[in-house]
């Protein structure tokens, strides 16, 4: 049996997970949360990760009931992501691998999400809609690569929501997107917002620029409420979500995907917050697949890269 330990820390979450032949043995994580109106800076996020990463590692081993000797491989997020947090995690993973005498594997963050989704949902060959703070892509496997068939041409939809939350100072706990979704349920007035779709690709910078400029004027004049803006943004994003669905972790998006799939005789596979939110187990699972196919990362090659596209990785573990 092959046991892989995975470190994830590409953004504001630090996680350590352990996978044994498709079984999640442990998956603890911590989230760096900033005050309302503030994003998370790379240096501060890295400082948070450094403060807790060894505690999370200890928790992962204890929850799994394993010792370092039981681990066969150490995997870590190579990228994409924020530079300073990625470096923090890579350094710890390199150190642990050397201290324990284990092989090391650098994993693409996006492929970690894909492989975790395939494991949890038992979807053998899915078309993937990957929506996160830093990425918006429609992906499918073909000829030893995960091919990108459509993507954002500027910012990701999650980043758009995060930055909107800062404008009207919505809480970051547990996440800006979740809190926007809850506030949207209390809104009733629709404010017209622009959006752009370009073939298989989408754009979110225009809607963000508009709402950043207009929000304070509309709120201070009483033209609408913060809940109305959240409602309007959700409605407008629903239009873009529909486009993403047709070109093929928000609950509304999952609902729309379910309707789209039913209309077309397809099946929807979705993961819950344990595995769709950044976590160490997804890096361990992708590392497990890579390690079993004969891949390892030599120490001199164990760098990080902030821009690491999904389709750059040769998928050696699938037919």
Residue among 174, 172, 178, 169 at smallest CA distance from 226: 169
Question: Is 132 annotated for ligand binding?
Answer: yes
What is the phi/psi pair of residue 52, to 5°?
Answer: -120, -10
| Alpha-carbon separation of residue 25 from 61, 228, 317 (angstroms) | 9, 43, 22
Is residue 245 annotated as involved in ligand binding? no
Q: Any known ligand binding at 162?
A: yes
173 marked as binding residue? no
Q: Is 181 annotated as a binding residue?
A: yes
Q: Residue 134 annotated as binding?
A: yes
Write the CB contacts of 194 (distance below 8 Å, at least 6 apart in sequence): 206, 207, 210
Is 216 labeled as ligand-binding? Answer: no
Q: Was 117 annotated as part of a binding site?
A: no
Q: What is the helix (H) or strand (E) element at residue 130, kind and residue range?
A: strand 128-131
The whole-angstrom separation of Cα 226 and Cα 112 is: 36
Compute how many other C-beta atoms are within 10 angstroms of the C-beta atom of residue 159. 20
Closest CA to 128 of 237, 250, 286, 115: 115
- Residue 190 assigned to a binding site: no
Query: What is the 3-state composition of the chain as percent helix, strand, coil, each rounded to the nearest 5?
Result: 45, 20, 35
Q: Is 150 annotated as a binding residue?
A: no
Closest CA to 282 of 10, 39, 86: 10
For tokens 């509304």, name the residue.
Answer: 252
Is 131 a known ligand-binding residue? yes
Distance CA 249, CA 151 (A): 16
**Is residue 72 a known part of a binding site?**
no
Binding site residue list for substrate: 130-134, 162, 177, 181, 250
Binding site residue list: 109, 113, 130-134, 162, 177, 181, 250, 278
Binding site residue list for a divalent metal cation: 109, 113, 130, 278
């Amino acid at each position: 049996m092959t046991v892989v330990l995975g470190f994830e820390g590409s953004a504001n979450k630090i996680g350590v997970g352990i996978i044994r032949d498709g079984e999640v043995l442990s998956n603890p994580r911590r989230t760096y949360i900033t005050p309302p109106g503030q994003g998370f800076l790379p240096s501060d996020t890295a400082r948070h990760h450094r403060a807790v990463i060894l505690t999370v590692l200890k928790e992962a081993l204890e929850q799994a009931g394993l010792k370092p000797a039981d681990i066969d491989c150490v995997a870590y997020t190579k990228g994409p992501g924020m530079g300073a947090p990625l470096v923090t995690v890579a350094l710890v993973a390199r150190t642990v691998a050397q201290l324990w005498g284990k092989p090391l594997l650098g994993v693409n963050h996006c492929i970690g999400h894909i492989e975790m989704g395939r494991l949890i949902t038992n979807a053998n060959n899915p078309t993937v809609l990957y929506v996160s703070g830093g990425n918006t892509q429609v992906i499918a496997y073909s000829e030893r690569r995960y091919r990108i068939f459509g993507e954002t041409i500027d910012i990701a939809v999650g980043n758009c929501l995060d930055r909107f939350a800062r404008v009207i100072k919505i809480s970051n706990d547990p996440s800006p997107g979740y809190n926007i979704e809850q506030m949207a349920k209390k809104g009733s007035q629709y404010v017209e917002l622009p959006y752009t779709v370009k073939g298989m690709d989408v754009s979110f910078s225009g809607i963000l620029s508009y709402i950043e400029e207009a929000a304070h004027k509309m709120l201070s004049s009483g033209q609408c409420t913060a809940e109305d803006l959240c409602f309007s943004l959700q409605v407008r994003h629903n239009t873009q979500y529909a486009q993403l669905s047709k070109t093929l972790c928000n609950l509304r998006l999952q609902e729309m995907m379910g309707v789209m799939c039913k209309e077309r005789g397809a099946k929807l596979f979705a993961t819950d917050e344990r595995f769709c939110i950044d976590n160490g187990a997804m890096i361990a699972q992708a590392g497990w697949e890579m390690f079993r196919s004969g891949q390892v990362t030599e120490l001199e090659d164990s760098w990080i890269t902030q821009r690491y596209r999904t389709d750059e990785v040769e998928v050696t573990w699938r037919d």
